[in-house]
A = this chain, B = another copy of it.
């Protein structure tokens, strides 16, 4: 999104496992060339969480920053919702490796005016309740008085017996997503056009649900080979699975589970799927599974969680991400959204 909500994780070895894009070049430069891990770090740069050795139940740790004016605006959200959404951003990274949330640390840069106005406790309530919704508690943090934008950085900590990473996909695997896509992005697009989003789209942005239990259940079936959350947009994040797995991702436009009403901001029904896979902001999951492996579980999943589970495409030999438009051909999404260029690549 042009308002800059795309974020990327500095967790990839250089040139290897992240999709293309200017922001990932920044990350590649940041991470450097040396990818050797400490002995008791099981997963390092290149996935949604770092994973720390701890007997038969390792710890997963992730961090996710939310900045006023970049990831949200005050005019859009109440402080409670800012806290909720910021916490979900980090908790979703735990879901993305199938970890079970335990704890949150909260870093907060708050203005003097916000401190006086009681914004801190309202943020805290949103953070604490988002954590509690999936079993995590606030166990520490850092607070600073800053004249700059309201900034929340959430550390989410969870346990994970067998993390599901981005790199387990194979050519011919199917790609699946949870939920519907584009609702949260439609709310942002509406706000940015000076309009009021629909109640459902606003809810999708303001009160997302991290797919924690869904991820654990799916991982527990043993049928998920690769997993990621798609808060940066399905196009870009399927690209990370593809890059990490040494494959190309093919998304079928006709299969994309577009959230209701997205066509209104996407420029029509025909453009809604492209909007939905590009917009980001949805804390849903994308997973790779062997062809035919997940279909028998789809109805049980949907009945259990009241969340759609939809096949959206497949992995193939090659690299990059393409959207297959029926009867027309393919649209390359390889560049994805370029955070540090400020325009789509």
Contacts and interface: CB of A to CB of B under 8 A. Distances in A.
Most buried by B among A53, A110, A145, A340: A145
Nearest to A159: B40
A92 interface: no
Contacts of A255: none
A23 B145 contact: yes
Contacts of A145: 4, 23, 70, 339-340, 342
Contacts of A140: 9-11, 44-45, 47, 49-50, 61-63
Most buried by B among A22, A61, A63, A144: A144
A8 B106 CA distance: 12
B11 A141 contact: yes
A63 B155 contact: yes
A117 to B, nearest CB: 11
Q: What size tier do the contact residues of chain A reach? A: 35 or more
A270 B256 CA distance: 73
How many identical subunits does the complex contain? Answer: 2
A10 B23 CA distance: 32
Nearest to A338: B145
A40 B120 contact: no
A186 B132 CA distance: 44
A203 to B, nearest CB: 24
A237 to B, nearest CB: 14
A165 to B, nearest CB: 13
Interface string A20-32: 0011001101111
Interface string A55-69: 100010111110111
A133 interface: no
Interface of A: 4, 7-11, 22-23, 26-27, 29-32, 36-38, 40-41, 44-45, 47, 49-50, 52-55, 59, 61-65, 67-71, 102-103, 105-110, 112, 115-116, 118, 120-121, 123-124, 128, 135-149, 151, 153, 155, 157, 159, 339-340, 342
